[in-house]
Chains A and B, each alone.
Chain A
Amino acid sequence: MEVTFELNGTNRTVDCAPYETLLALLRREGMVSVRFGSTSGETGASAVLIDGRLASSEVVLAVQAGGHSVTTVESLNTDGDLHPIQAAFAATGAMQSGYSVGAMVLGTLALLEHDPNPDENAIRDMLSGILDRETAYVKPVAAIQQAAAVLRGEEVEPFRPLMITPMTDGVNPIVLDPDDGPPIGSPAIPRVVPSKDVPTTAVVGQPEVKVDAFRLVKGNPAFTDDFEMRGLLYAKVLRSPYAHARIISIDDSAARALPGVHAVIHHGNVPRVKYASGGQSYPNPKPHDQVSFDNKVRHVGDRVAAVAAETVEIAQEACSLIEVTWEVLPAVFDELEALSGNAPVIHDENDTTDIADSSRNLVHRMDVERGDVEAALSTADHYYEQTFRVHQVQQCPIEPHISVAWLDSDERLVVRTATQVPFHTRRMLAPLIGRDIKDIRIIKPRIGGGFGVKQEMLIEDVVAHLAIATRRPVRLELSREEEFVSSRTRHPQTMTYRTGVNNDGVLVAQEMRLVGNTGPFGTHGFSVQAVAGLRGLTSYNAPNKRFDCEVAYTNIPVPGAYRGYGAPQALFGLECHMEDIAADLELDPIDFRRQNWAKTGDELNLAPHIGEQALVEGEFDEYPIVMSDGIEECVAQGARAIGWHRREDRLWREPAEQPHIRRGIGYAHAMHGTAIPFLDMGGCFIKLNDDGSFNMLVGAADLGTGADTVLGQIAAEVLGVPLDDIQVYSSDTDVTPFDTGAYASSTTYISGTAALKAAEVVRERLKERAAMLLDIKLPDAHLRVEGVTLEHHDDVEVFGCDVCSIELRDRRAYAPDGRSVSLEEIALDSLHLNDQEQIMGTGSYVSPTCPPPFGSTFVEIELDTETGQVTIHHMVMAVDCGVAINPVTASGQVEGGLLQALGYAHCEEFALDDDGRMLNAAFGPYWIYRADEMPRTDVFLVQTMEDSGPFGAKAVAEIPKDGVAPAIRNAIVNAVGVRINQLPFTPERVFDALTKD
């Protein structure tokens, strides 16, 4: 068919099929800013303006658009400059991955046409159709308000952090004054509570615009699907309708015969190579219980076969023509039932080793103890035991998994893929396709959200097998339903805490018994549960601790890595448990925690025993010590911002004019980790260009987190240049140095230190070349080690070294006597004129320490006692992440984490039927928070100086996930005195808990 419509002001006539969506046609016509989120259109990533009105192009047939005008973000890109709306989004850091920012910009355009001065409700209503997992909509609202002001001709304040006066001395608690209100103003503006120990810096700590902001707000090609490939084939995977079944036979003849089909693969024609798909360091934790295509399926949505064909529709039809004979087996979904000994055996194959007890579906058994917990519990003044259950949720990145594989001109296998772990993926893929690592290249472009679900070698093997079989490029994009049931989720768990406390409120012993549900595969199954034990038992001091854990196989959709990685689960149980103990002992909930929380100077007496792959027995010579903490300031800022004193105010909690309403405020403490010591490693390479700018190559994977920006800021600070002079490129296994990847809250701390070290190497050489140009002689005392590192003098005056005291700033090198030379002059001199060399530096870093970030989360809720409905009115988090290298991206990380944590606590859940089929594998039935219903969200970044981190940084990526669920649960206790020990707090569950009492 032909369709004629006006696209960005120009009439176009295009050929299309009747079934083609407007989204597909627009992308085909090069409008890559318009993106896929789901076929049902709620994500709004595909939204365009049709006759000036914002509409999801995923649910519009191309032919329906005939005779109408269609506008995409590309209409604003007529020259190099940004439209004021685009500029506002960039300036306010209103995007993390930016996958949906094109839709937000268009929506703003339409809104402001209609109303140049929209109120916040109108803005949030416009955003209601654009789902975002990353910003909590906080900064997008501010961006739109700023854009509106600019377009009205008003002056706007530059978007800068607000410095808040510290309330404490950093060590001691304060008594809150109820009349002391929190700072006013837009919650979008990052609030920083400075520490006097933190030095002033030029680029680090500044609200620099993200290095990828320009390409994102313009909708320029950036994501995996945005790059054209000639001769591309499309893959589809045939999925299991059964939770547990043997494949007796597969007949692919009809599928192969379908015109347009190029390959059909399944267990009959793909080698059986065992692996574990979790993106983790070598050697991947055992058991290796997966194969690319197995002769058994173990969850609804498990792989059966895959097809590569000329179009997605042909591939889909070919899948439906594959005839499978099944032997359906009984299935089990609950972790306790799976371990009972009466459940079907999920891994009964003979080629998987290192399953603890496959007959009981027991994958791992972990047990580690310090001291003697039973003895301590039996003699403690008070004994508490509580069990909690946490459930299955999905990461819901708006960009689903997507990979494209092809053979390059040397017939090496290249995969461009939305991955958090390009280097792990390269290593893990090699044996599956029978190639050496050196014959594989993985390229990570921009990613539309990961949150751990892309910390997996999930579909790269499928496209690789098909690309090799067909010798054509092959693309596989998961549907939204597949993203729910056939990718990865959070691990459900049943956990029991047992704690012994003495009359003085001090913990004497704490035990966590954990049963983790790892679904049908062990991927991340050990490590997530291990981290749960680590986080669940190190927040508080106790001389006797025990972690006792079983990990079970079941037939639920496969859990894997999800931001927080065991901590949100463990800290839900822990913070509810501690709250209840405090209540029983009639102690203030914060004071009780304060008596026991690990803080500066305390030893983390269990931490080294819990590793990524194994627990370690025996005593260590040394245990890590907490070197810095901002806990008291976090508590003070958070408590003031939420109005903590109202908890005790009965009149507030029980509003007379609304007798069915109860209000409450809840709190949770969190301590998290910063990278995995002795494991996470990253490398960086920096080189100087002719104009005095630098190229920086890092293996670190920016998933929208702002990693490229933060690493660039660190290098820029060392080299004395603006961020703009650092061109950051990440992450490509042929080009960039190794990096374990984006997980474990490690990028700023580990990859940032690698960037710092590489920049220091470059700085030293720049100083020496500057000395040459300024005719400053190198004294004998100036030591230089060939190759990589340089020795510094600590005391310049003793040696009187003029070279070392050369300073780099404002793109120049300044001698002590005030003379200077530009970096451009140094570049031209070194590259072209004298003693030519390429000034460059490398650095890599692995850390022996893991300095914990700390957080205080406060939540205010309202509860309808007649229906059980809980409404969250206000969320506050104060985080000590050391020094935030970029307060805008850091506060954005916290905001996005809080939105996901809110969903975890309040409304997100997998509803499985009795056969293990997910009933709500779509947005809507699986509800994620929209802009028009978000509670007010306030973030405070409390500075501490962490000496082991680059410019004082710790981590911020995951800790926001840890406190919301227990804070809401504790707010419910405050409101109605009811203790709910499972998630999520959906209306009927809360209603049942209320009426049970």
Chain B
Amino acid sequence: MPRAIAYHRPDSVEDAVALLNDNSHQPLAGGTVLNGDDDPTPVTMVDLQGCGLNGISGDAGRLRLGAMTTLHDMVNDDRVPTGLAGAAQAELPSTLRTLATVGGTVATGNADSILLAALLVHDARVELVGPGGYETLPLADLLKAGVAAGHVVTAVEFDPSGDCVRQSTARTPSDTPIVSATARNADDGVRLALTGMADHPVLTDPRDPTTGLEPISDFRGSADYRRKLAEVLTKRAVNAIGGVT
């Protein structure tokens, strides 16, 4: 069976949550992930584009991205710090960037997502809504737990100060990194996030980035090689922000 057997476009987040009570209903953000695979499981799509989740707001202290903010919007908004905007640009090619959303990126939790790594080092927090109401939790916790069924990401907010820098190794300059290290000087120290070292991007200790991590081995990089890369790239990323480990 084709994937989408029915489609709803609710006008409000509350209506969306009510529809998502049914397990066969899936939230649809940009569609680059959901519509992009060949999984034949029948689902009903609940399109979030009408729920008022667009928009970038906030101030120098915290910037808030509505969940339906596209990566293209992030690249083109001056309030988004350069390193983070660069991560949004490098995350996907032009024709997918205009569709993919920050909320969808968070919900997918892809292990190689450099955008998630950049959000992590910017102390991102995710606002979700479910049958029980709203809650906010650190992005790192959400990536570990995943978005529970029936819940919708409504916003991602972060500290825009202190630009982040990324060092990565990939097969080619635009390829998804095998491992990447993203670093940022926060007020209380260096934040460091790695991709390609766990089943989602992770914050780690810049002085000891790989302890406790069990990277997979695949055709792009063995576990051993990924650990070596993580060490090298962490050092470079931290040096690039002038940070002391």
Q: Give chain A's interface residues, CB within 8 Å of chain B.
A: 1, 17-19, 21, 39-42, 44, 47, 50, 53-56, 58-61, 63-64, 66, 103, 107, 125-130, 313, 316-317, 320, 479, 481, 864, 866-869, 871, 906-907, 909, 911, 919-920, 924, 927, 929-930, 932-933, 986-988, 991
B218 contacts across to A, CB distance below 8 A:
911, 919
Complex Cα distance, B94 from A42, in Å, reads 9
* Complex Cα–Cα for A53 and B71 (A): 12
A440 to chain B, nearest CB (A): 33
Q: How distant is A502 from chain B, measured CB to nearest CB, in Å?
A: 42
Given contacts A907-B175, A988-B221, contact A129 B96 (CB under 8 A): yes
User: Given that A41-B36, A125-B89, A924-B176 are contacting pairs, would A103 and B171 also be in contact in the complex, using a CB cutoff of 8 Å?
Assistant: no
The answer to whether A59 touches B4 (Cβ under 8 A) is no
Q: From residue A73, how far is it (CB to closest CB) to chain B in Å? A: 15
Query: How many angstroms from the CA of A1 to the CA of B44 in the assembled complex?
Result: 13
A313-B174 contact in complex given A41-B32, A64-B31, A867-B229, C-beta closer than 8 Å: no
Which one of B5, B36, B40, B225 has the highest number of Cβ atoms from chain A below 10 Å of its Cβ? B36
A313 touches B1 (CB 8 A): yes
Taking a contact as CB atoms under 8 Å apart, the answer to whether A933 and B172 are in contact is yes
Shortest C-beta distance, B188 to chain A (Å), equals 30
In contact, B172 and A128 (Cβ under 8 angstroms): no
CA distance A481 to B39 in the complex (A): 13
Contacts of B92 in A (CB 8 A): 129
Nearest chain A CB to B47 CB, angstrom units: 6
Q: How far apart are A49's CB and chain B's nearest CB, in angstroms?
A: 9
Pair B98/A53 contact, Cβ less than 8 Å: yes
Partner of A128, one of B93, B99, B229: B93
B97 at the interface (CB under 8 A from A): yes
- A61/B7 in contact, CB under 8 A: yes
Are the CB atoms of A987 and B94 closer together than 8 Å?
no
Q: Tell me whether B45 and A18 are in contact (CB under 8 A).
A: yes
Distance of B31 from chain A, by nearest CB (Å): 5
- B25 in contact (CB, < 8 A): no
Q: Are B97 and A40 in contact (CB under 8 A)?
A: no
Tally of chain B residues near chain A (CB < 8 A): 49
Cα A54 to Cα B6 in complex, Å, equals: 26
Report which of B95, B170, B228 forms a contact with A44, defined as CB distance below 8 A: B95
Of the candidates A103, A906, A919, A930, the one having the most CB atoms from chain B within 10 angstroms of its own CB is: A930
Tell me, rounded to whole Å, the shortest Cβ–Cβ distance linking B222 to chain A. Answer: 7
Inter-chain CA distance A455–B96, complex, in Å, is: 32
- Which label, helix, strand, loop or mixed, suits the secondary structure of the B interface? loop
Tell me the residues in window 168-198 of chain B with beta carbons closer than 8 Å to chain A beta carbons. Answer: 169-176, 178
A56 touches B171 (CB 8 A): no
CA distance A929 to B28 in the complex (A): 30
Partner among A59, A479, A869 whose Cβ is within 8 Å of the Cβ of B169: A869
Q: Do A60 and B35 touch (CB < 8 A)?
A: yes
Within 8 Å CB of B98, what residues of A?
50, 53-55
Q: Could you tell me the distance in whole angstroms from the C-beta of B103 to the nearest C-beta in chain A? A: 15
- List, in ascending order, chain A residues with CB within 8 A of B93's CB: 42, 44, 128-129, 930
B96 neighbours in A (Cβ, 8 Å): 41-42, 55-56, 59, 129
16 intermolecular pairs with C-beta atoms under 8 Å apart: A18-B45, A59-B32, A61-B7, A64-B31, A64-B49, A66-B9, A129-B96, A316-B40, A869-B169, A869-B170, A906-B172, A907-B172, A932-B173, A933-B172, A986-B171, A988-B221
The answer to whether B2 and A59 have CB atoms under 8 Å apart is: no
- Chain B 143-173 residues near chain A, CB threshold 8 A: 169-173
Known A53-B72, A987-B169; contact A129-B95, beta-carbon cutoff 8 A: yes
Mask, B206-242, CB within 8 Å of A = 1, is 0000000000001111100100110011000000000
Binary A-proximity of B24-56 (CB < 8 A = 1, otherwise 0): 000010111001111010000101010000000
Alpha-carbon gap, A54 to B72, bound state (A): 10
B79 within 8 A of A: no
Q: Are A867 and B99 in contact (CB under 8 A)?
A: no
Q: Nearest residue in B to A1 (C-beta to C-beta)?
A: B7
Q: Assuming the A-B contacts A919-B219, A987-B221, are A39 and B174 also in contact, with contact meaning beta carbons closer than 8 angstroms in the complex? A: no
Say whether B169 contacts A933, CB under 8 Å: no
Residues 1-18 of chain B, each 1 if its beta carbon lies under 8 Å from chain A, else 0: 111111101000000000
Docked Cα-Cα span, A105 to B97, in Å, equals: 18
Find chain B residues with CB under 8 A from A991 CB. Answer: 225, 228
Binary flags per residue of B88-123, CB closer than 8 Å to A gives 1, else 0: 010011111111000000000000000000000000
C-alpha spacing A867/B228, complex, angstroms: 8
Please tell me if the beta carbons of A125 and B5 are within 8 angstroms of each other in the complex: no
A753, chain B: closest CB distance, angstroms: 41
Chain A residue at smallest Cβ distance from B174: A933
A47 touches B95 (CB 8 A): yes
Q: Tell me, in angstroms, the Cα distance from A868 to B173 when the chains sit together.
A: 13
Name which residue of chain B comes closest to A52, CB basis: B98
The smallest beta-carbon distance between B169 and chain A, in angstroms, is: 4
Contacting pair B172 A929 (CB below 8 A)? yes
Query: Do B38 and A479 touch across chains, with their CB atoms under 8 A apart?
Result: yes
Contact indicator B95/A871 (Cβ below 8 Å)? no
Give the chain B neighbours of A933 by CB distance below 8 A. Answer: 172-175
Residues in B with CB closer than 8 Å to A987 are 169-171, 178, 221, 225
Kindly state the separation between the CA atoms of A17 and B3 in the bound complex, as whole angstroms: 11
- Closest B residue to A907 by beta carbon equals B171
**Chain B contacts of A129 at CB under 8 A?**
92-97
Instruction: Give the nearest-CB partner of A125 in chain B.
Output: B94
**CB within 8 A of A56: which of B37, B89, B95, B228?**
B95
Q: How far apart are the CA atoms of A125 and B233 in the complex, in Å?
A: 25
Per the bound structure, the CA–CA distance linking A66 and B178 in Å amounts to: 38
Contact between chains at B95 and A60 (CB < 8 Å): no
Cβ B219 vs Cβ A920 within 8 A? yes
Smallest CB–CB gap between A407 and chain B, Å? 30
Given contacts A19-B5, A933-B174, A988-B225, contact A40 B94 (CB under 8 A): no
Residue pair A59, B9 in contact (C-beta under 8 Å): no
Q: Which residue of B5, B31, B171, B178 has the most chain A CB atoms within 10 A of its CB atom?
A: B171
In the assembly, what is the distance between CA of A906 and CA of B175, in Å? 12
A932 contacts B32, CB within 8 Å?
no
Cα distance A36–B35 in the bound complex, in angstroms = 14
A867 to B168, CA, bound (A): 10
The answer to whether A56 and B225 touch (CB under 8 A), given A18-B6, A42-B93, is no
Given contacts A44-B93, A933-B174, contact A59 B38 (CB under 8 A): no
Residues of the A chain whose Cβ atoms lie less than 8 Å from the Cβ of B221: 987-988
Bound Cα distance from A683 to B118, whole angstroms: 61
Instruction: Please give, as numbers and ranges, the residues of chain A lying within 8 Å of B49 by CB-CB distance.
Output: 64
A39 touching B37 in the complex, CB below 8 Å, given contacts A128-B93, A924-B176: yes
Closest Cβ of chain A: how far from B111's Cβ, in Å?
A: 13
Pick from A55, A63, A103, A906: contact of B7, CB under 8 Å: A63
Name which residue of chain B comes closest to A66, CB basis. B9
Most buried by B among A17, A63, A867, A919: A867
- CB contacts (< 8 Å) of B219 on chain A: these are 909, 911, 919-920
CB interface residues, B 51-91, toward A, < 8 Å? 72, 89
Bound-state Cα–Cα, A127 to B232, Å: 32
Contact yes or no, B176 A932, CB < 8 A: no
Q: Which residues of B sit under 8 angstroms from A56, Cβ to Cβ?
A: 95-96, 99
Q: How far is the CB of B231 from chain A (nearest CB, A)?
A: 9
Contact among B30, B47, B225 for A63, CB-based, below 8 A: B47
Cβ distance B68 to chain A, nearest Cβ, rounded Å:
12
Is the Cβ of B4 less than 8 Å from the Cβ of A18? yes
Contacts A64-B47, A864-B169, A930-B93; A988 near B35 (Cβ below 8 A): no
Give Cα A986–Cα B28 distance, bound, in whole angstroms.
36
* Cα–Cα, bound, A320→B2 (Å): 12
Closest-CB distance, A934 to chain B (whole angstroms): 9
Rounded to whole Å, the gap between the CB of B139 and the closest CB of chain A is 24
Q: B45 and A59: CB pair below 8 A? A: no
Residue of A nearest to B92 (CB): A129
Query: Given A19-B5, A869-B169, A991-B225: A61 and B31 within 8 A (CB)?
Result: yes
| Contact status B47-A927, CB under 8 Å | no
A66 — which chain B residues lie within 8 A by C-beta?
Answer: 9
Q: Are A40 and B37 in contact (CB under 8 A)?
A: yes
